[in-house]
Structure 1
Amino acid sequence: MTRIERAFAILLLLSDGSTVTATELARRFEVSVRTIYRDVEMLSETGVPVYAERGSQGGYRLLEGYFLPPVTFTRAETVAMLLSLALARGLKVPPFAAELESAERKLVAALPQRLKPLLAETRRLIGFERPAIDAFHPEWPGAADGTPAADAAEARAVEIFLKAVLDGTRVRFVYRTPHAHGDRETEAQPQGLLWDRDRWYLIGIKLDSRNRPPAEAQRFWRADRVVEIEPSTFRSPPLPFDVRDHVGGLWLARAMARWNGPDAVRIRMPQAKAERLRKDWYFRFADYQPDGEGHVIMSYGEGDPALAFELVRWLGPEAELLSPKPWRDQLRAELTAMVAKLSA
């Protein structure tokens, strides 16, 4: 038996989840224990997750789930799997990009010969367009968006966060926001991830200085704003969580409700324009109240007056910025300057 044959036989022997000592393996294959050590080392170097457990009940074992039972796919199921892989690859920031490629290679290698041409067919016939830029919500100045380095950093943040979710461990990271001065160091207990409009959002419990979850501790962090991140060895007891409680825009609806405070932007507009904004991915979560005179007053949180002014100009002459009051003077000055240029 060659070394490769013996290593493969060891792999099959461990595939049932049992733990086998080096002595037992040496006796079974009629080689020395030192030879078994070298065989297991070769398996580990090729990426096979063989672990050694110490103690009287110890030995070598294979990571649970490394081998999957044989599966067969219909033509439609194969297309569905390849489309899923293509969609994941088409994301702006695909986490585990290398594993995505190797998974596709393994899938194609396991397919019957008659189904292998489907890979080329799906790549040639079906494409996925990425979401377009939102003109009303541009990136904040200084954001490193779209560069290879920024995408790689975001992918790393998503990968580390997701691994922490699966392992039940905490993470530490430095987070940067456009509305805060300086970066914030945060320790969190990850719960899940959400992908929305080509952005990854990390969901977790923010821990206080004593590593305890304060009131309303659940937070959303944009992965592209994570400056540094590292996993922690600390484990936390799992908390009830279901990402389906946040999809359908519910996460944004809750955030908009928090932002809609005393200093919120309030705009009076015609009913027809309000109905159009109710269909927008962002503005549909604003608060809309009839004013009793056939118009609607929309309220939402906004810290940048320029963005609010753009919306008012888009709404047209029937719209009126009601608050914040200091912004009214700024908008009046801008509109006066525009009229002066048109009159020149």
Structure 2
Amino acid sequence: MRASRLLSLLLLLQTRGRMTARDLADELEVSVRTVYRDVESLSAAGVPVYADRGPDGGYRLLEGYRTRLTGLTTGEAESLFLSGMPGPASQLGLGDVVAAAELKLMAALPPDLRTRAARIRERFHLDAPGWFRAPDHVPHLQAVADAVWNQQRIRVLYRRWARPQQVERVLEPIGVVLKAGTWYLIARAHRPDDPDAAPAATGTPPETTPDEAPPPDAAPRTYRVSKILTLQPLPQRFERPPGFDLAAYWDAYATRFEADSYRDQATVRLSPTGLERAPMLLPPVMARALHDNAEPPDRTGWTPVTLPVESLRHAHVEFLKLGADVEVLAPPQLRAMMTATARALADRYLP
């Protein structure tokens, strides 16, 4: 355990440069006193670790010193190849870089780990997009990724649902997210005629952009990259929001977006067959609620359940997938829509 911690400390200093004892303790989840002892042990082993005094001081390695020891366990070496995404990496313009990095990693691994890691590529494959849908056309994805990496503002023409459908915005790109084969850009927005304006507020679907003058304390927004019609890099650079956590932002955004999208409810009855087929045919939000909200079957064997729905129109389409294995009980408007469809089908097919 201590040997692993010593290696972690060495690699932290090698990759991050100067670090204080408190920073190292926080990263390694140990006490500052333990860090002092570990640094002494590394020095005794011949590792050139130096302490810089003063308010900006800390521990650092001798300039130019690097260890070739990676300390990868078998599982860690395998997981690196399992996490590779050649398709998305190519879309970002990093396909060659990823391939070169994997070759270098393979060359650095001991023979036994190299053999095990190579099996991952042979036996596991990640296909990010969902079934039965064409991938998004994202001609500006690489330019977006460059702007994110270089903290460079961009001017975009963006297509949204609201009118006017095409709007121009100056964006500060903070990160990109790949969700079920669809690329999203996380960015702060500005009016194109006021590049120093405050960023716009959050809480809108991926296809929308801000309309009104943004408030001064606003947060990033989410944009669908395929909706960017034109993109122009701007010379201005920007500072990222302090402490911004892309993964935490996306988790909160996805949760909020689902909750905002499925605000209505419908009460239905499902036959045993409908109950079995519904998780495969209904959207994930409705399928999860089916598992959580289902009541005991009634005396006919049908299961009552209240489900969240995006709208009556969407619910109508979703429940039609279940055919005669679902009965809508409420709201009355949705039941009337299902009744009208059933009568129209009967008129169409019955002699």
- TM-score, with length taken from structure 1: 0.56
Q: Which amino acid aligns with 2:175?
A: G
Compared with structure 1, are the counterparts of its residues 120 and 223 closer, same or farther at alpha carbon in structure 2 (3 Å cutoff)?
Answer: same
Equivalent pair of 2:269/2:326 in contact (CA under 8 Å): no
1:30 corresponds to which residue?
none
Q: Is the 8 A contact 1:162 1:192 kept in 2?
A: yes
Structure 2 unaligned spans of 5+: 1-16, 18-63, 203-217, 295-302
Aligned length in residues:
254
Equivalent in 233, 243, 246 of residue 243 of structure 1: 246
Q: Does 1:322 align with 2:321?
A: no
Q: Is the 8 A contact 1:312 1:320 kept in 2?
A: no
CA distance in 2, matches of 1:317, 1:283: 14
| Matched-pair contact (CA < 8 Å) for 2:86–2:95 | yes
Q: Partner letter of residue 191 of structure 1?
A: I
Question: Which residue pairs with 2:233 in the alignment?
Answer: 231
Corresponding letter in the other structure for 1:281: P
Residue of structure 2 in register with 1:121 after alignment: 119
Change (3 A) 1:271 1:125: closer
Match of 1:221 in 2: 223
Distance 1:162 1:106, change over 3 A: farther
Post-superposition CA distance 1:84-111 (Å, at most 9, x none): 22xx115496422222122222223333
Aligned to 1:70: 68
Q: More displaced, 172-181 or 94-103?
A: 172-181
Letter in 2 for 1:89: P
2:26 aligned partner = none
> 1:159 deviation in Å?
1.9
- Normalised by the length of structure 2, the TM-score is 0.55
> 1:156-214: CA deviations, max 9, x gaps?
25523431xxx333222232345656433222222333332222222122223533224
- Structure 1 residues 158 and 300: CA distance shift in structure 2, 3 A: farther
Q: Tell me, yes or no, if the aligned pair for 1:192 and 1:204 is still in contact at 8 Å.
A: yes
8 Å CA contact retained: 2:89, 2:98: no
Q: Is the 8 A contact 1:160 1:231 kept in 2?
A: no
Q: Secondary structure at the match of 2:331?
A: strand
User: How big is each residue's C-alpha offset from its partner over 1:91-133, in whole Å with a ceiling of 9 and x where there is no partner?
Assistant: 4964222221222222233334555444543222333344532
- Give the counterpart letter for 2:316 in structure 1: F
CA distance in 2: counterparts of 1:178 and 1:215, whole angstroms: 17
Structure 1: how far apart are the matches of 2:226 and 2:285?
19
After TM superposition, the structure 1 = structure 2 runs for residues 1-344 of structure 1, keeping only pairs within 5 Å, are 70-72=68-70, 73-85=72-84, 88-91=85-88, 94-95=91-92, 96-112=94-110, 115-118=113-116, 120-133=118-131, 145-146=134-135, 150=137, 153=139, 155-163=141-149, 167-177=150-160, 182-209=165-192, 210=194, 211-216=197-202, 217=218, 218-239=220-241, 240-248=243-251, 250-259=252-261, 266-270=265-269, 280-283=283-286, 298-302=307-311, 305=313, 307-314=314-321, 316-320=325-329, 322=331, 332-344=339-351
- Cα RMSD after superposing both structures: 4.4
Partners of 1:213 and 1:308 lie apart in 2 by: 35
Go from structure 1 to structure 2 and tell me whether the alpha carbon gap of 1:215 and 1:224 turns closer, same or farther (over 3 Å shift): closer
1:171–1:299 CA distance, 2 compared to 1 (3 A): same
Structure 1 residue 313: Cα displacement: 1.6
Q: Take 1:192 and 1:231, find their aligned partners in 2: how far apart are those partners?
A: 16
Counterpart of 2:331, as a letter, is L
Identify if the C-alpha distance between structure 1 residues 80 and 309 changes in structure 2 by more than 3 Å, giving closer, same or farther: same
Tell me which amino acid in the other structure corresponds to 1:241: F
